Amino acid sequence: MGWLKRNLFFVIGVVVALGLLGAAGFYDYASWSHNQAAFAHLTEVYNKLADLTKKKPSPGGGQVDNIAAAREQERQLHQWIDQTRNYFQPIEPIPKPANGPVSSELFAGALHRTIAQLQHEAEAANVVLPPQYDFSFTAHMDRLTFAPGSLEPLSVQLGEVKTISEVLFGSGINALDGIQRVPASPDDASGPQTDYLADQPLTTDLAVLVPYQVTFRAFSPEIAQVLKAFASSQNGFVVKTISVQPAGATATSAAAPNAIDTGMSPPPAPLPGKSGWQTVLNEQLLRVTLTVEVVKLTPRN
């Protein structure tokens, strides 16, 4: 008892210190438990967020709903495509039987009638054609049977060649030197290679782009009319490249974008007249090589 009385303050200090240590330990334990629970909740939220952001499209968060926005944009895109379909009307194949597939006999007859019609239309429009020109179908004119699987694509090409030719005739060109198309049949290997293009159709998510190349002679107003007619057609033509040069020049091997020659010869020296100086413009006949693509929209799902 004597020692306790002499060291009373020391004993009280030790008791208080132990109490404080116990309180600190309890506080640390409680804090640790809270931190563990908070960390577990944070991990859960993070994992959920990571899972959501991996989705395509990401759904967003709060007031941002990326899925709804993506659906609305898709709806607007399809609405725009539907509106533009009036300018991309498909060209009817020749022939187009009401029932059943195209037969060899049916195609052969339609081919001869169509070529004869185009030759007659060219003559009526004063458009000069190469002798006995078959509009890129020379390999098929004398056939009674055709390679398996080729009648449908040939019918489509015949309709497109006819439409392109009539655009040129209606624009008042002076001469058609040739039309080139993509080979659509093994039988095309037997035809003159000047009838064919090495390019292939391009398929995208929205459309199939089928190239044709035409070479013709005309003056600059008629060339402008050709471009205008293709641009305003409801059949969805896109002029890809154009090369223009004087008709007497040697043809280039391939059309190049922006390779446009005005084809205008320098005016002769002005001659004095009653009304003063007069300028005379001497326009040359031009030879045009033009690549045009037929745009075929893919069916909407």
Considering only CA atoms, give the Rg of the chain.
39
Q: List the alpha helices (DSSP H) in 85-137.
A: 104-124
Nearest to 195 by CA among 133, 262, 111: 133
Integer distance in angstroms from the first to the last C-alpha of the chain?
99
pLDDT band at 168 (very low <50, low <70, confident <90, very high): very high
Residue 69 domain flag: no
Residue 233 domain flag: yes
CA-to-CA distance for 220 and 279, rounded, in angstroms? 19
Strands 276-278 and 237-246: unpaired
Residue 213 domain flag: yes
Residue 243 domain flag: yes
Work out how many domains the chain is built from and give that number. 1
Q: Coil, strand or helix: which one is 23?
A: helix
DSSP state for residue 250 in the 8-state scheme: P
Residue 254 domain flag: yes
> How many of the other CB atoms lie within 10 Å of CB of 215?
18
Residue 49 domain flag: no
Question: 0.85 exceeded by the pTM?
Answer: no
The domain in which residue 146 lies consists of: 85-262+284-297
Which residue type does 121 have? E
Cβ burial of 176 (10 Å; 0-12, 13-18, 19+) is buried
Tell me which of 46 and 161 has the higher pLDDT: 161
Token pair for 283: 């326009």
Q: Is the dihedral of CA 239, 242, 247, 251 positive or negative?
A: negative
pLDDT at 252 over 60: no
**pLDDT tens digits for range 204-240:** 888 899 999 999 999 999 999 999 999 989 888 999 9
CATH of the domain at 91: 3.30.70.60
Residue 115 domain flag: yes
CA-to-CA distance for 196 and 59, rounded, in angstroms? 50
pLDDT at 14 over 90: no
